Structure 1
Amino acid sequence: MTPSTAPWARFTADEPELAATVEARFAAHPHHTLATLRRDGSPRTSGLEVRFLGGELWLGMMPGSLKALDLRRDPRFALQANPGEGTGMGGGDVRIAGRAVEVEGTGPEEEAQRAAYVEEVEPPQPFHLFRADLSEVVRTAVEGDLLVVRVWRPGEPLRTLRRA
């Protein structure tokens, strides 16, 4: 974790209501969009399932997938919740940015994290597992006649922007 990032548990502690809304938005649909950076610096978008387990946001991937290779080379990512059917955007639009930290070691902590993930998710073996360290969480929603944007960043107060 770098000074400008924080684990999911920190976000949940700082902004429990917003964190619950974000988790519900991701739970509404299984597949979401992950943006990574290719070797040449251009963006790559890929489908992805995410899990919130043990106070962390987890990104699991097939072995050798391009998105996993992108994250190994450059851990920066952006994640957008599936907007769902139609244009209603029930629950608002949710985006997360941060750095992905691969869990690949053989120490007791890494093995325990992988075991907990496997028990809950039952992923095909082998797989890449990344923990998300957050640099920003954004929720955009229509509330009445206003567009309301809430932005959380580690170490900063929640910002709320309203536009007519």
Structure 2
Amino acid sequence: MTSNWAAFAAAEPEFARTVEERFGGFTHHVLATLRGDGSPRTSGLEVRFLNGELWFGMMPGSVKALDLRRDPRFALQANPGPGTGMGGGDVRIGGRAVEVDDPLIRAAYVEEVEPPQPFHLFRAELTEVVRTRVEDDTYLVVDVWSPGAPVRTVRRT
């Protein structure tokens, strides 16, 4: 089961705001894709939250775009920032990337973002959103959301 960003934000607005804030704190994040042989590949990436969707724009022919065309599964991790504080926690999103070829949708994205041309455009279908943080300097707290289910929180000492 997958969900778009708008459905996640409607189901869990506070969690969605936290995730967007973490991604908004830095420009570059880490995208994990799968190579043809099934091994992981990590790449830097900029993301956008626009019109109820999570978007990935990529240079034409980039290996991460080719990976996603072959196998759309991805994991995306927000830049943790400098030092060890990770203010706001560690945030990750898992899902499937759907390439967008519709000229009207692409035109709206270009108008909003002004990416270098040409480019690949992918829309994220979410399968999981995870936030890991330390609470009261004592507990490791992991919040996990999946489509169709409420947030599950696990605390460890």
What TM-score bracket applies, with the shorter chain setting the length? over 0.9
Q: Which runs of 5+ in 2 are unaligned?
A: none
Q: Which runs of 5+ in 1 are unaligned?
A: 105-109
- CA distances 1:32-72 after superposition (whole Å, capped 9, x unpaired): 00000000000000000000000000000000000000000
| 1: CA distance, partners of 2:115 / 2:94 | 24
Match of 2:75 in 1: 78
Secondary structure of the corresponding residue to residue 17 of structure 1: helix
Moved over 3 A (4+): none
Residue 133 (structure 2) aligned to one of 141, 146, 153: 141
Secondary structure of the corresponding residue to residue 142 of structure 2: strand
Secondary structure of the corresponding residue to residue 13 of structure 1: helix
Match of 1:122 in 2: 114
User: What is the CA-CA distance between 1:143 and the residue it aligns to?
Assistant: 1.5
User: What is the CA-CA distance between 1:161 and the residue it aligns to?
Assistant: 0.5
TM-score normalised to structure 2 length: 0.98
Secondary structure of the corresponding residue to residue 60 of structure 2: coil
How many pairs does the alignment contain? 156
1:87 aligns with 2:81: no
| 2: CA distance, partners of 1:112 / 1:20 | 28
Residue 21 (structure 1) aligned to one of 9, 18, 22: 18
Residue 158 (structure 1) aligned to one of 145, 151, 154: 151
1:69 aligns with 2:62: no
| 1: CA distance, partners of 2:89 / 2:111 | 31
Letter in 2 for 1:125: Q
| 2: CA distance, partners of 1:143 / 1:114 | 41
Secondary structure of the corresponding residue to residue 95 of structure 1: strand
TM-score normalised to structure 1 length: 0.93
